[in-house]
């Protein structure tokens, strides 16, 4: 008995050391978090420009997107308490909290996660999540058990504020609404050595105008298929392309399906052989690789540590940045 306890304690200590070491050397991968460059230590605050140019007159024209009979102004598209719903036929009737939110603290879920729950790389796809899992996450946000390992990731902080403003009833309605829809693919994973140069817009990577490229390095660069449709019009039918390093999908497949000789744990046991989820365990197949990586990193760093996240600890404890890239590329490339 003494010996068993001893072995367990040594095992736990090794695990702890491994994660402590990792936390010490690694920083949240910028390609997955999109928090922007950190201000150098001791930098003076940037002074606002002395004479700002007069703001251009707001664009009040009506906009349209292909295949939709609706038209909206840009202000309507971005209305935090009732954003545009381009395709009302694509989803069930939205509960009030999803369509309009609740002023002042809970912006409408449909603003960021879209009315169809597809979400975007900088937030989360929530369609097709098991209702029990969805509620568990809202409660983890509420009780400060889930935050971002990158404190400058502003929209995760906003999500925490939203979760804290909801009633039990509103959480339940949102969970049932999004859970009733199936997850369908809209991220195309492409292996390549070069990627477009990008800029950040609210945590989302956007290709620069023109054809400038740079080496991909050990990153996944996930960008809208069509900048105008996603960035300006928030078209919930316009998806994403994720560039990944050559060979990453195959390496990821080995880790995900076998656990890579103890480097991680085969995912299918809990997430289902096809990675579509089992019972309350969420589906992963075909979801945003930036989002998936943020979550694995957050769990490794201990920033996401709700009750159920315990089960993910041995999965992520030893993973390196290169492993995250491979696993996320493979999982995102699976068709749900």
User: Residue length, the chain?
Assistant: 336
Q: For the CB of residue 284, give the shortest distance to ligand HEC in the complex, in Å.
A: 5
* Near ligand HEC by CB under 6 A: residue from 285, 315, 325, 329: 315
CB 208 within 8 A of CB 286: no
CB 289 within 8 A of CB 187: yes
173 scored as a contact of ligand HEC (CB under 6 A): no
Nearest residue (CB) to ligand HEC, 102 versus 237: 102
Nearest residue (CB) to ligand HEC, 63 versus 100: 100
CA angle, corner 330, sides to 236 and 204, nearest 5? 40
CB 115 within 8 A of CB 87: yes
332 scored as a contact of ligand HEC (CB under 6 A): no
* Near ligand HEC by CB under 6 A: residue from 295, 300, 326, 333: 295
User: What is the token pair recorded at 119?
Assistant: 């979400």
CA angle, corner 125, sides to 202 and 78, nearest 5? 45
**How many whole angstroms separate alpha carbon 109 and alpha carbon 162?**
9
CA angle, corner 11, sides to 5 and 16, nearest 5? 125
Q: For the CB of residue 273, give the shortest distance to ligand HEC in the complex, in Å.
A: 12
* Near ligand HEC by CB under 6 A: residue from 22, 63, 100, 107: 107
* Near ligand HEC by CB under 6 A: residue from 94, 149, 331, 332: 331
CB 36 within 8 A of CB 204: no
Nearest residue (CB) to ligand HEC, 150 versus 207: 150
Mark residues 174-193: x for contact with ligand HEC by CB under 6 A, - for none.
x-------------------
256 scored as a contact of ligand HEC (CB under 6 A): yes
User: What is the token pair recorded at 312?
Assistant: 């993910």
121 scored as a contact of ligand HEC (CB under 6 A): no
160 scored as a contact of ligand HEC (CB under 6 A): no
326 scored as a contact of ligand HEC (CB under 6 A): no
Nearest residue (CB) to ligand HEC, 8 versus 311: 311
* Near ligand HEC by CB under 6 A: residue from 19, 73, 155, 213: 155
> CA 137, 139, 143, 147: dihedral to nearest 10 degrees?
20
Residue 103 has a CB neighbour count (10 Å cut-off) of: 11
* Near ligand HEC by CB under 6 A: residue from 308, 318, 321, 336: 308
Residue partners of 35: CB distance under 8 A and separation at least 6: 28, 150, 152, 153, 203
CB 137 within 8 A of CB 145: no
Q: For the CB of residue 95, give the shortest distance to ligand HEC in the complex, in Å.
A: 9
The closest alpha carbon to 204, from 174, 244, 234, belongs to 234
Q: For the CB of residue 121, give the shortest distance to ligand HEC in the complex, in Å.
A: 9
Nearest residue (CB) to ligand HEC, 84 versus 159: 159
**How many whole angstroms separate alpha carbon 155 and alpha carbon 159?**
6
148 scored as a contact of ligand HEC (CB under 6 A): yes
The closest alpha carbon to 130, from 35, 311, 271, belongs to 271
Q: Choose the stretch contacting ligand HEC; rule: CB under 6 A; options: 61-69, 125-133, 206-214, 215-223.
A: 125-133
User: What is the token pair recorded at 60?
Assistant: 């009040």
Q: Which residue has the tokens 């690789």?
A: 289
296 scored as a contact of ligand HEC (CB under 6 A): yes
Q: Interface residues with ligand HEC (CB under 6 A)?
A: 97, 106-107, 109, 111-113, 123-124, 126, 129, 133-134, 136-138, 148, 155-156, 158-159, 162, 166, 174, 256, 264-265, 267, 269-271, 281-282, 284, 291-292, 294-296, 306, 308-309, 311-312, 315, 327, 331
């Amino acid at each position: 008995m003494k010996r068993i306890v001893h072995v367990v304690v040594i095992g736990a200590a090794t695990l702890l050391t491994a994660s402590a070491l990792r936390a010490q050397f690694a920083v949240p991968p910028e390609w997955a978090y999109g928090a922007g460059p950190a201000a150098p230590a001791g930098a003076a605050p940037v002074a606002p420009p002395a004479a700002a140019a007069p703001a251009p007159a707001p664009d009040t024209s009506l906009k349209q997107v292909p295949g939709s009979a609706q038209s909206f102004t840009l202000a309507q598209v971005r209305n935090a308490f009732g954003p545009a719903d381009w395709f009302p036929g694509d989803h069930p009737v939205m509960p009030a909290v999803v369509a309009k939110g609740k002023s002042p603290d809970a912006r409408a879920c449909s603003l960021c996660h879209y009315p169809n729950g597809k979400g975007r790389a900088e937030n989360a796809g929530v369609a097709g999540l098991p209702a029990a899992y969805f509620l568990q996450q809202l409660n983890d946000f509420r009780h400060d058990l889930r935050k971002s390992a990158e404190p400058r990731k502003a929209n995760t902080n906003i999500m925490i504020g939203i979760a804290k403003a909801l009633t039990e009833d509103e959480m339940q309605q949102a969970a049932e609404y999004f859970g009733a829809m199936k997850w369908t693919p809209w991220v195309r994973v492409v292996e390549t050595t070069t990627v477009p140069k990008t800029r950040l817009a609210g945590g989302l990577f956007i290709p620069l105008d023109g054809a400038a490229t740079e080496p991909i390095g050990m990153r996944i660069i996930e960008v809208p298929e069509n900048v105008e449709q996603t960035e300006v019009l928030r078209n919930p039918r316009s998806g994403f392309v994720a560039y990944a390093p050559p060979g990453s999908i195959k390496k990821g497949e080995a880790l995900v399906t076998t656990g890579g000789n103890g480097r991680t744990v085969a995912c299918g046991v809990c997430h289902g052989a096809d990675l579509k989820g089992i019972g309350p365990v969420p589906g992963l197949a075909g979801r945003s690789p930036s989002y998936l990586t943020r979550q694995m990193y957050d769990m490794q760093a201990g920033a996401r540590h709700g009750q159920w996240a315990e089960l993910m600890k041995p999965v992520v404890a030893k993973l390196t940045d290169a492993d995250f890239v491979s696993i996320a590329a493979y999982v995102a490339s699976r068709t749900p």
